[in-house]
Amino acid sequence: MGRRRKKDILTGIELGTAYVKVAMGEFLPSEVVSIIGAAQVSSLHKVRKGSVLDAPAVQEQLAQALAVSEKESGVEIEDVFLAVTGGHIGSTTNVGNAPVQSPDRIITEEEVVTAVRNARSCRPPPEQSHINSIDRRFLVDDVREVANPIGQVGSRLQAEVHMIYGDRGAVETARTLVAEVLGYRETARAFSAVADTFALFSEEEQRRGSLVVDIGAGVTEYAVFHGPGCFHSSQIAVGCEHVVNDLAVAFRLPVPRAAGILHNLGDFGSAVTRPDGRKRLVEVETSSGKSRRIPASTIEQVIELRLRELFEVVAADLKKTDAFQRVSNGVVLCGGGARVPGIVRLARQVFQMPVRVGTPYLAGGPREVIANPGFVTAIGLLRFGRKVREIDRESPGLLEQLRIDGHRILNLAKRAFRW
C-alpha cells in the first residue's frame, strides 16, 4: 500500500465544554470516510459554553489531542476544519430580490445569481463574526416556494439565505488558539450543528428535511436542513452540566458526585420517570461524607424535568419559525447528552415523531469513535471539509461558480456556503 499523501487527509477540531476532540480521516473510493486518528482530552473548567476560558490550558489540551491523532494516523496534520460552538452563536435570515428581466418572465440563471448575491451582501455587525451563510429557500412573486427557480415563470425572484454568526472575540480566540498550536489557520469553520448534519445525513436526506439536536455539556445546538439548504438553526445555553447542577442542588451533593449519578444512570434508572421508582433505592454519598439512600424516581424526575424542558424549548422555536413541519426524517440526537439512558423515549414524547441517536453514515474506523455520538461533530467536519475542497478546486469564487455552472445552481455541495 502506498504512503498516504497529506492532502488526502482532513482533520476536524472541536473545542467543547467537556472535551477537546480531534478526528483525522480520508475518503475511500466507496465514499466511506475512514477515521485513521482520533482523540479527546478533557477541557472541563477550561471551556465554558463553547467559549475558551483558559487559552494556554486549552492549547496544551489541543496539542495533546493532535499528537495522539497524528501518532495513530502516521500522517502530519495539514488541512484543518474547526467547529464553532457556544452560547454566543446566533442566526438570521437575509433576503435578496431580483426582478425577472425577460419579456416572457421566465427566470434564468442571472436572476438566481442576482437574488443570492443580494441576500449574501448583508453582513453581521462589527462585534459579530461570520461563520456560515447557507441558502434557505426561493420564492417566486413572494408566495410560491420552489426548489429550483430556473425555468419558473414570475415577475420577481426572492432568495433567502440563512446566516450564522458568533461573538467576534469568542470566535477569533478559538481560531487564534488553533493557529498558535498548528502554526497556521484552519481552512474553514462551521457551526457545530451544521457539521453534525454533514455527518448524519446524505444530501438527499438533507433536502427532504432533517433535524439534528446536539446536546453538549454546556450548550444544545440544533439545525433543520430542508430543500436547497439550511432552513433554521439555533442554540440554547443549556446542556448536561445543568442536569448535573440540578441533581447537586436537589440532593445537596458535591458536583462531582452529582455528575457520577448522571454518568451511571443506566445502572438504576432513565431520563423518563418509571412508576416503580420509589422501590428502587440509590445509595449516594453526601458532601458531609455520609451515605444515604434516595428513591430512583426522584432522581429520574429531576433529570426528566430539565431535559423535557430543553426539548420543549427546541420544539417551540421550530414551530415559531415554521421549521418543525419541514422535518420528514425525524429527530436525530448527538453529542454527549445523547448517551443519557431513556433520552430517545423522552424526546419522542415531546417531538411526537421518530427519534434516534445518530451515528455517522458511510463511516469506518474504531468503534469507540464511530459509535460515540460525542464524535459526530468532529467527523462531520471531515465531510464538510471535503465540500469546501470541491468548491475551492472548481471555482476561484462562489459567485463565479454560480455564473458558469447554472445547471448545478441548487446543489448544496457546490455552492451553499460562503467563507
pLDDT at 390: 85
CA dist., res. 133 & res. 191, Å (int): 10
Burial state string for 102-117 with b = 16 or more CB within 10 A and e = fewer than 16:
eeeeebbbbbbbbbbb
Whether the pLDDT of residue 360 is over 50: the answer is yes
- Where does the pLDDT of residue 401 fall: very low under 50, low under 70, confident under 90, or very high at 90 and above? very low
Whether the pLDDT of residue 239 is over 50: the answer is yes
Domain encompassing residue 284? 240-302
* CATH at residue 253: 3.90.640
Q: Which of 73, 92, 81 is nearest to 13 (CA)?
A: 81
356 falls within a domain: no
pLDDT at 144: 95
pLDDT at 278: 74
* CATH at residue 162: 3.30.1490.110
Domain boundary among 254, 277, 302: 302
270 falls within a domain: yes
Summary mean pLDDT of the chain: 90
382 falls within a domain: no
111 falls within a domain: yes
CA 205 to chain centre: 16
Whether the pLDDT of residue 2 is over 60: the answer is no
291 falls within a domain: yes
336 falls within a domain: no
CA dist., res. 385 & res. 363, Å (int): 15
CA dist., res. 5 & res. 26, Å (int): 10
3-class DSSP assignment, residue 105 = coil
DSSP string over 255-292 = HHHHHHHHHTGGGT--SS--TTGGGSEEEEE-TTS-EE
CA dist., res. 165 & res. 124, Å (int): 7
How many independent structural domains does the chain possess? Answer: 2
